[in-house]
A and B are shown apart, each in its own frame.
Chain A
Amino acid sequence: MHGLTFDVAHMFAGGLVLVSFMMLYQDRLYALLNVFALQAFVLSLSVAWQALVQDAPHLYVTAAIALILKAIVIPVALHRIVARLGIHREVETVVGVGLTMLAGIALVALSMVVMLRVTGEADPLAREDLAFALSVILLGLLMMVTRRNAVSQIVGFMSLENGLILAATGAKGMPLVVEISVAFSVLIALIVIGIFLFRIRERFDTVDVGALDRARGERL
């Protein structure tokens, strides 16, 4: 199947993986938040295209939720949190960018190998979406592992959730109720995490999660 339908879906899903890599590359918080908003935008485009292809109007709602909540509300909220915490100039990574990139490439290759083997008989569009979705999820996890700043860990978590939505739309038939409840639980998670951020900062004067390890006596 090599029509325009497939090519456009491929382009958006591949773009999502690319934006995930851009997030790994950014080490400034504001730039990271902008790239995260871009990822949500690409996700909403991809979901809207799937809605058009699959002729499933409820996916338009999913796209709208992704656009409004993730591309606008959450980045703006995180922007304000970063501004209030006064940490916009902090640059913190555990391992270097180059090493992270290599690990990311390895994860993408792994998810392609796994997904293309496992989903042998499925529709090409769904297979390809699943493979990319797994890469986005793994890259989000990698982001959470390689960052020490709590705000970038939140961004990693949110981008992981973007990958889940991509997988769900590709698989055909996620009910709208599930989608809405997932969206709201993410929003609530953001609020909870936001409160935690201020608590962590109040207690340790930093949002570097290394401070938590030290408080538990795990590292000197």
Chain B
Amino acid sequence: MSDVQTEIDLQTCPRIAKLFKLQWEEVQNSWVLLYPEGMVKLNASAGEIMTRIDGVTSVIELVRALELKFNTTGLHADVLDFLTIAQRRGWIKL
């Protein structure tokens, strides 16, 4: 995903777009995004990011929370890449 160019402000607080509903699906053992007559099945890392998007958590706080949870550093680029794609597909608003 490293070729994705991004200009996302780290202080911005993304929210899930109005038409989309994020929920855990036991049967599929994954987080899914539901929208009119459709569904996106999220992989584990996409699920970790999407579940932290609530309209009040900033991008930088989101990165820190994930780094803390997975006891690592340098998740910046990956998170920003995902947010860029999610925005392009209309899943989130920045």
Q: Is the pairing of A and B real? A: no
Interface residues, chain A, with chain B CB atoms under 8 Å away: none
Interface residues, chain B, with chain A CB atoms under 8 Å away: none
